[in-house]
Structure 1
Amino acid sequence: MHLGHSRTYTITDAYARFKRMQGYNVLFPMGFHYTGTPILTMAESIAAGDKELIDLMINVYDVPPEDIEKLKDPLSLARYFHNDAKQAMMEIGYSIDWRREFTSIDEEFKQFVVWQFMKLKEKGLLKKGTHPVGWCPKHNMPVGMHDTKGDVEPEIGEFTLILFKLENEDVYLPAATLRPETVFGVTNIWLNPEAEYVLVEVDGRKYIMSKRAVFKLRFQRDNVREVREIDPGELFGKRVVNPATGRRVPILPAKFVDPATATGVVMSVPAHAPYDYVALRELLENKELLEKYGVNSEELTPIPLIEVKGYSELPARDVVERMGIRSQYERDLLDKATKELYSDEYRYGVMRSDIVELVYPEAPSELRDLVRAAVKAWIVGQPVSVAREATVKWLSAIGRADKIYEIMNRPVYCRCGTEIVVKVLKDQWFVDYGNPEWKRIVLEHLEVMRIVPEELREEFRKVVDWLRERAVARTRGLGTELPWAKGWIIESLSDSTIYMAFYTVIHKIRSYGLKPDQLTLEFWDYVMLGKGDPKAISAKIGVPVKVLEELRSEFEYWYPLDSRHSGRDLVPNHLTFFIFNHVAIFPRDKWPRQIVVNGFVMLEGKKMSKSLRNIIPLRRALRIYGPDTVRAAILAAAELLQDADFSDALARSVMGQLAKFESIAAKALEHDDRVDLVDRWLLSKLQESIEYVTKAMEELRVRSATIHVLYEMENMASKYLELRGGKPGPALLEYVKTWTKMLAPVAPHLAEEVWHRLGGESFVSIEKWPSSDKTKIDYEAELAIEYLDKVIEDVKSILRIFKGKPRRLIIAVAGREYWSYARIAAEVLLARQQLRTLIQRFVEAGISDRKQAAQLAQKISRVFSELSPETLKRISMVEEFDEKAVLEKFKDYVASRLGMEEVVIVTAEEAEHKELVPPTKLAQAVPMRPAILVE
């Protein structure tokens, strides 16, 4: 349990505490997932004496050397870190109901999982079939995200193999491509001159492909026989026949070809593939090599196939030249160019009409015309997406297409260190996530669920769309055995989809002493679905009717779950599977209501990783900084989808703010009973804070809420004390009590301590969450302090260019008689009305001289146009406002903030009579913008 893990749980706990204070009965349960191979692999490595892993355990994960022996057994290892994680969760203060704790290998839970899979099987959502899966060649089993190093989900893609027949030989070069529609523009075939190639017989047909491709193909095809090794140098200059056009094209060398991807044979389409264009450009500069292979430059001329708006006839050339790519070794730039061009062509590209002329020009006219008619009908003028499918169908029909599966995000490694390949599993059990009716219902529910943040909804839609069959079991690891397939263990992302329902009843199952063999299919049907006669079930399994009904009632009370919290990396699998399985098994009123997704945690700006050895165990962080500091720093570091950067500087800043909160709370107990303008201001701003933090917490903008509670509310309290000369009035105690409640979800330990110092007798964690009191909103007080701040800032801007030491400050304010015009101006600006409307309103308010009204309107609107809508609203709501009285009240505060020996406050009229301010300066004094003179 390290800092990265704690982000999800801390957000969840803060939300749970917030909802609890809002009056909800909140269940925050916790369990531990033992299923799968990671624990097994780690224990095996430790038992084998893996020095690097053992060192990691001792020096990064803080495992005492004497405990290493315990980690050699998978169950002991799991329980060790289970207990450590639980202790960390308790130390940081997660408000978890530990009565409901369980592990995924508890016998009671295994019975629940058996029930779940029997339900899926009954509904036809589990099926036996043949499908490609990620596969570990060492352990001979399917793998998913949690079986791989770095928790990477193997992404399986299908390459089309276009079979180019070697001239005068019964041998094919299977060029692997994701863009079969570009076969019409092939100028040559690429092989890597430094790679190992072999002649192989696949289902009776001879292929030349890379040695690595043969290894992978054995997992996908039954009849693969290696004949002999092939030196690629022997093939360069030879010709193959393009099955789509009948054209003879040369085999040429290119080092960019990756022999570990697909077949290691690549068809070159330089008009539309940036890698091909750059490699061909380099080759054309080597006249000697071309001559060696008997190739002339004309036959390598790029052939345009696809029209795309914004590109010329040769889109690959366009993007290569725009990005300044000079060499086939600039892989990052070429990958970027390829991704951009392929995307544009797929979305906006249309197949050109003249590709028909490329097809079988030398074939007998009858055959040529027949084939060209088909190409014209199916491919010409079609969008790329349509042409792609049509091309594959056509080439397959004539026996010149095949396929190979590949890990698209390769390399992906099993926990054991072996690179994952794709295996076509036959007669195995799969969850049929490709079922169209199931997808429809999931998408339907997704639209009514609350997804936080909202922008992830589209990501969920895309996952639902591309999900296909998923292998449901493994041959090794911990977990539940597939009930009808002995020896197969249900994999970790399949048994963890509806376990939330299990939390509702496990504590009762244990308290009544129910045995695993009593938790039959009929038992779960009744408890979870309300199916069956409890009396008949009771008689069959020996569980009292009253107990069955109580368990059913417990489930009914808590379900559906209101909020599922997890990390973003689980959107493509666990979180989506979670929706699928709920809608499959439970009735609609029990489907989940909300998913909350957060990003990762970085440490000092770097991703936490074992290789960097910068993983901080949570318990170590708690020892260094304390639980409330860690909680608040994690919450304050970032909003949900952003990666949170935990740093020592942030933690110390948070610690300082918590100390200030404690100090201000102590100060609040020393208050007097004198209520003045500043008290009214503080209580008014408090209502604003309540509304802001409540809304932020409801929307799970935890950073905004935490920053406001930790920093903004402290700033207001400190300013209040400064305005009152360090002597608090009664408002501060009310403010701090409310502040303490709002801090409780973030820093519960300190909040509890302070709450009791303030006289609280209950736990603050179950106090009622504050609600704003509209009667305490005081626009006049807020406007007064805002005006005061604005004047101080205006003076500071003058002092920044003032030469010499300032001695006296003279502030000439607009007279009170101008305030009614200020209110009118605020109303007009808030309504977004024009200047002529303001002038007319001034005339109607008593300024008979229209020219004078226009001058005043221009002055005020110029000043007010810089004010926020909130300030304008306050101005419009305050009937009378005496700027001079406000500044007089806080004259000492102004002098202190600005370092002035003397501060003089006058109205503009008084200043003119006293000759304190030059007449030209007087003209600038308007409401909310006094004239200022520094001497």
Structure 2
Amino acid sequence: MKVGIFEAEPDENKPKFFITAAFPYPNSPLHLGHSRTYTITDVYARYMRMRGYNVLFPMGFHYTGTPILAMAESIAKGDHELIDLMINVYDVPPEDIEKLKDPLSLARYFHNDAKNAMIESGYSIDWRREFTTIDEEFKRFIIWQFTKLKEKGLVKKGTHPVGWCPNHNMPVGMHDTKGDVEPEIGEFTLILFELERDLYLPAATLRPETVFGVTNIWVNPNAEYVIVNIDGRRYIVSKRAAFKLRFQRDSIVEERTIKGEELLGKRARNPATGKLVPVLPAEFVDPETASGVVMSVPAHAPYDYVALEELKREKPDLLRKLGIDPEELAPIPLIRVKGYGEIPAKDIVERMGIKSQKEKDLLDEATKKLYSDEYHNGIVREDIIEHVYKDMPEPYRSFAVAPVKAWIVGKSVSEAREATTKWLSALGYEDRMYEILNRPVYCRCGTEIVVKVLRDQWFIDYGNPEWKKLVYELLDNMRIVPDEIREEFLKTVDWLHERAAARTRGLGTELPWAKGWIIESLSDSTIYMAFYTVVHKIRKYGLKPEQLTVEFWDYVLLGKGKAKDVAEKTGIKEEIIKELRRDFDYWYPLDSRHSGRDLVPNHLTFFLFNHAAIFPREKWPRQIVVNGFVLLEGKKMSKSLRNIIPLRRALRVYGVDTVRATLLAAAEILQDANFSEELAKSVMDRLRRFENYAKLAVEAESGETIADRWLLSVLQQRVDAVTKALDRLRTRAATITVLYEMSGDVAKYLELRNGKPGPALREYVENWAKMLAPIAPHIAEEVWHEVLGKDSFISVETWPTIDPKKRDAQVELLVSYVDRLVDDVKSILRVYKGEAKSLVVAVAKPDSWQIARIVASYVSRGGQLRDAIRAVINSGVPGKEAAQIVRKLYEFLRSVDEAMLALIESVQEFDEKEAVAKLKDYISRKTGIQKVEVYYVDEAGDKIPQQKLRQVIPLRPAILIA
């Protein structure tokens, strides 16, 4: 029977809450990593629904781009590794492989599988609003979006570097690559060292300001290099560099190939100093990166320093053969930075114990650290003129010294970098080359991505400064959960620049003004949340795609124009258009957007940009929630490890609620969650305990005891803690409280009542079931109906609230006090020899309780001992006696938790003798001692030795076991 309790419609009598999670690509099954994002989203949606909000949680499927296409092509080509992965890791039946050879068939197959996984997971989704990004109605929505961006000048033609697949001849982004890696594009400065007339070694660097300290040029002796003519200028670059440069330059002609070893010993002129520096071999030079030619600055580059020292130490014969005096390779200090000596690279290398250029990880770490320190805190030395130019021949000296003195000496590294680049460019000795900084990145077809400079192509201008201002404003006015991720958003906004808007290949929407170009996947997935608000009504009223014009969307989503005019132009009834506008206006803005951390540098930031550009401020999103990844038994899930667990398999093995609760209990939201067998079994056990306790609750006896008052009092704490945790999206804290702490409460309650449930248990379990419902909805719903006999759905029940009348600090303190006493007795019993037949307890008199309250107040706020003593004296206790008592109390209370301190402060009067007397039977059961006696300290007489009685203070009784 379909009830539709999660099908949301506007209700002006309720506050609304619109929540979405990133829709999935249906090119493989959902796995535990996906499930974490969707489970957190669902928990929050269910929680807000129970808090009285009208909650909309919809879901769609992202077909756009090349991932689906690439996977289907690989299967069609008989990719054995992929087919094996599908069958043995992704649980695709062998007979279904044939279906996956067609892109649309593959998409629909995994779309259906993902939807079933979400339904089986109990996600409270309004499935009426489901769509795919290749639905014609959605394409019309995207055409409207890009029309708006173009009208605002934010989509424009230009020339920009992009990640590029040489095989498919198209731009690629994160979702077009293996492993969903965003290609990071960096710009290398090529400094031209003249090897002979009109032939240059273009040394690639990210630090052009260090050119003044170059001692030599590095090449890889085992690599292939080529002489190329690039736009009329002749360079020697690696074979791979020549290939990459074809995508960045108009004219490249290869003249001939040479081996790296052929260049050794040759000398090239440093354009900044006029000095001839030798070409030397280095294994660390990667011919695959940039030009394959590296300038050596041993004073400031750990790799260079280590490689030169290694060369001097291990290959002195080679240096002699090449006619190179080791003295000319001495480091030239250029930058002064706090924390380092004259030669910073030497300092950090020796500090880290690096001996060989093969210690790549350590060298990378050293390089990153030194470069950062120099960039942020370094100053170009005043004496570089003396170091660098003292033997410089004319005419170099004349044209170099003055500008270097004026623009570079004494400047910060960032200032010197810009000035050096401009100076070398003006002299004609500077060029540029783009590179993938996080290479290698591979297209889904298996081809390594390169950088292409696209000309006359359409880009989204994320570098627009005015647009960025709006995004900063949006970020300032929205909640980011957790807030520590805010800095990542700010950094992303800062470095974002133009981004290719379309591809020539893949599924999706055509650019309306450029036929044959498909809007790429991270560009059509930025404001689709608005589409959710009306898609089901578009279908309900049978609106045709061609009726969904730009004017239609202008009215529905922006309120522009008149409904009557839109109705006349589109043929849609005016009342329908107005209804769609009302629906959008009710649901927007989006209240909470959920996604994984990997989408912060792309999708989530693009989401902010596009909302800021298209919608008015009152429709800007209110919150983004970012979660970490999922580990499996402590290891990252990956295809290579073949440890990816499809979600539906996990649901079959562990059960739905166990999977949900394990993912939630494993870590707080931004931490990586470790899904382990041990934790899953523990969660499963706690869920069974909840069910068993619920069955006990319906058999409860009448007659309230201290235990019942205690349980209902503790319940108020749990309601408060779980409510606050879910408000802050601290889903682990909420789950631990509901599964473990509340289970512990009931276990304690039953101990207090000698295993016989009383009247408080049912009330506790009913509220417990409600708090468990967002986390483990299936068992909560089952207990609600089948055990507790309720007729309603727990999913739409009202969330529990605190009843201050049921909070009883006195009884909570009583139980806590007795539990501490029991623990102390057990500690004594562990070393006690003989049979324990009786327990005698001597306690402080009630009139000393105020001393405990005063001292607790000082301890809880970190007050000083002397101030606590003074306060107790002022209350009327004689000075000598006060000092002795307060010292002991102060030390003792520093060992108790905040909750206990709060109880002590809040309870006005407390009788320790009465507390022990009321729970004598409980103490006997817990300690195994049948006879329990309790006395005030002045009543104990000879029951307890005097030296023990003299140690008694409030909350610290004397104990005698006999």
Q: TM-score, normalised by structure 2?
A: 0.95
User: How far is the alpha carbon of 1:618 from its aligned partner?
Assistant: 1.0
Tell me, in whole angstroms, the C-alpha distance in 2 between the residues paired with 1:829 and 1:222: 75
Secondary structure at the counterpart of residue 486 of structure 1: strand
Which residues in structure 2 correspond to 1:683-702 (within 5 Å)? 683-702=712-731
Deviation at 1:844, TM superposition (A): 5.3
1:257 to 285, 294, 297: 285
8 A Cα contact 1:316 1:341, kept in partner: yes
SS of the equivalent of 1:62 reads coil
Which residue of 778, 790, 795 maps to 1:765?
795
In structure 2, C-alpha distance between the alignment counterparts of 1:175 and 1:805, rounded to whole Å = 86
Give yes or no for contact 2:75–2:82 (8 Å, CA) kept in 1. yes
Letter of the 1:30 counterpart: M
Q: 1:55-66, aligned counterparts within 5 Å?
A: 55-66=84-95
- Give 2:45's aligned amino acid: A
Q: How far 1:540 sits from its partner (Å)? A: 1.2
1:110 aligns to 2:139 (yes or no): yes
2:591 is matched by which residue type in structure 1? Answer: D
Q: Which digits, 9 at most, give the CA deviation of each residue in 1:50-101, with x for residues without a partner?
A: 1111111111111111111111100000000000000111111000000000
- Tell me what 1:819 maps to: 849
The 5 A counterparts of 1:441-460 are 441-460=470-489
Q: Is the 8 A contact 1:88 1:618 kept in 2?
A: yes
Which residue number in structure 1 is paired with residue 4 of structure 2? none
2:552 to 505, 523, 529: 523
SS at match of 1:487: strand
The amino acid that maps onto 2:179 is G
Q: Is the 8 A contact 2:273 2:392 kept in 1?
A: no
1:928 Cα offset (Å): 0.6
Shift of residue 874 of structure 1?
A: 2.0
Select between 587-596 and 349-358 the one with higher mean Cα deviation: 349-358
Segment of structure 1 superposing worse, 244-253 or 666-675: 666-675
Using the alignment, how far apart are the partners of 1:384 and 1:425 within structure 2?
A: 32
Q: In 1, distance between residues paired with 2:84 and 2:868?
A: 76
For the pair 1:305 / 2:357, whether they are aligned, the reply is no
1:429 corresponds in structure 2 to 458
Residue 774 (structure 1) shift: 1.4
Deviations 1:811-870 (A, max 9, x none): 2212233224333433454566555555555455554x4333333333333333333343
Per-residue CA deviation, residues 679-717 of structure 1 (Å, 9 max, x unaligned), is 111111111111110011011000110110000001001
Between the two proteins, the alignment pairs up a number of residues equal to: 931
The alpha-carbon distance between structure 1 residues 282 and 821, as it changes in their structure 2 partners (threshold 3 A), is closer
Q: Match of 1:799? A: 829
RMSD over equivalenced CA pairs, Å:
1.6
User: Residues 806, 489 of structure 1: CA spacing in aligned structure 2 closer, same or farther, 3 A cutoff?
Assistant: same
> 1: distance between equivalents of 2:753 and 2:456?
80
Letter in 1 for 2:951: Q
Offset of 1:749 from its aligned partner?
Answer: 1.0
CA shift in 2, pair 1:831/1:619, >3 Å: closer
* Cα pair distance change 1:71/1:365, threshold 3 Å: closer
Change (3 A) 1:291 1:91: same
> Does residue 533 in structure 1 map to residue 562 in structure 2?
yes
Structure 1 runs, 4 residues or longer, greater than 4 Å off? 358-367, 803-807, 827-847
Is 1:189–2:217 an aligned residue pair? Answer: yes
Matches within 5 A, 1:235-384: 235-285=263-313, 286-358=315-387, 361=390, 368-384=397-413
Report deviation, 1:767: 0.9
- The residue number in structure 2 matching 1:675 is 704
What amino acid sits opposite 2:798 in the alignment?
K
Partner SS, residue 158 of structure 2: strand
Mapped pair 1:776 → 2:806: yes
Match status 1:629 vs 2:665 = no
Residues 1:397 and 2:426 are matched in the alignment: yes
Correspondence 1:11 to 2:40: yes
Q: Structure 1 residues 352, 624: closer, same or farther in 2, change over 3 A?
A: same
For 1:69 and 1:833, locate their aligned partners in 2 and report how far apart those are by CA, in whole Å.
74
Deviations 1:874-900 (A, max 9, x none): 223323322122222222322332233
For 2:247, give the aligned amino acid.
F
2-side partners of 1:804 and 1:201: how far apart?
A: 98
Which residue number corresponds to residue 259 of structure 2?
Answer: 231
Q: State which drifts further: 922-931 or 391-400.
A: 922-931
- Give the conservation status (yes or no) of the 8 Å contact 2:189–2:208: yes
Residue 633 of structure 1: how far off its partner (Å): 0.9
Choose from 499, 506, 521 the match for 2:535.
Answer: 506
**2:425 counterpart letter in structure 1:** S
Q: 1:522 to 1:900 in 2, by over 3 A?
A: same
Q: CA deviation at 1:362?
A: 5.3
C-alpha separation in 1, matches of 2:864 and 2:449: 69
Cα 1:398–1:692 shift into 2, 3 Å: same
The answer to whether the Cα contact below 8 Å between 2:275 and 2:392 also exists between their aligned partners in 1 is no
Note the alpha carbon deviations across 1:712-742, whole angstroms, 9 max, x for none: 0010011101111111221111111111110
2:7 maps to which residue? none
Q: 1:704 to 1:839 in 2, by over 3 A?
A: closer
Residue 930, structure 1, aligned to residue 960, structure 2: no
Distance in 1, matches of 2:608 and 2:763, equals: 45
CA contact (8 A) 2:31 2:645 kept: yes
Distance 1:831 1:260, change over 3 A: closer
Alpha carbons of 1:803 and 1:370: their partners in 2 closer, same or farther (altered >3 Å)? Answer: farther
Give me the whole-angstrom Cα distance separating, in 2, the residues matched to 1:595 and 1:532. Answer: 31
**Residue in 2 aligned with 1:54?**
83
Distance 2:425 2:716 in 1: 71
Structure 1 distance, partners of 2:512, 2:873, is 88
2-structure distance, mates of 1:840, 1:192: 77
- C-alpha separation in 1, matches of 2:387 and 2:198: 24
State the AA in 1 paired with 2:958: A
Does structure 1 conserve the Cα–Cα contact (< 8 Å) formed by 2:274 and 2:393? no
| Partner-residue secondary structure (3-state), 2:511 | coil
Q: Return closer, same or farther for 1:315/1:800 CA change in 2, 3 Å cut-off.
A: farther
Alignment partner, residue 6 of structure 2: none
The alpha carbon displacement at 1:367 in A equals 5.7
SS of 2:736's partner is: helix
Relative distance call for 1:854 and 1:367 in structure 2 (3 A) is closer
Q: Is the 8 A contact 1:359 1:368 kept in 2?
A: no
Structure 1 counterpart of 2:934 = 905
**Cα distance between partner residues in 2 of 1:210 and 1:647:** 48
Q: 1:652 to 1:859 in 2, by over 3 A?
A: closer
In the alignment, is the contact (CA less than 8 A) between 1:245 and 1:358 conserved in 2? no
Give the C-alpha shift of residue 804 in structure 1: 5.1
- Distance across 1 between alignment mates of 2:221 and 2:463: 41
Give, as a single letter, the amino acid of the residue that structure 1 aligns with 2:791: E
Pick one of 149, 173, 191 that aligns with 2:201: 173
Give TM-score scaled by structure 1 length: 0.98
> Take 1:488 and 1:129, find their aligned partners in 2: how far apart are those partners?
15
Q: Distance in 2 between matches of 1:828 and 1:177?
A: 61
Q: Is the 8 A contact 1:174 1:263 kept in 2?
A: yes
Cα distance in 2 for residues equivalent to 1:353 and 1:402: 27
CA contact (8 A) 2:193 2:201 kept: yes
How does 1:464-863 map onto structure 2 within 5 Å? 464-756=493-785, 757-803=787-833, 806-830=836-860, 834-835=864-865, 838-839=868-869, 841-843=871-873, 845-847=875-877, 849-863=878-892
Secondary structure of the structure 2 residue equivalent to 1:477: coil
Partner letter of residue 856 of structure 1?
Answer: I
Q: Distance in 2 between matches of 1:925 and 1:655?
A: 45
Question: CA offsets, 1:543-594, max 9 Å, x none?
Answer: 0100100010110010000000000000000000000000101111111000
**Runs of 5+ unmatched residues, structure 2:** 1-29
| Partner AA of 2:434 in structure 1 | Y
Assess, with a 3 A threshold, how the Cα gap between structure 1 residues 434 and 745 changes in structure 2: closer, same or farther.
same
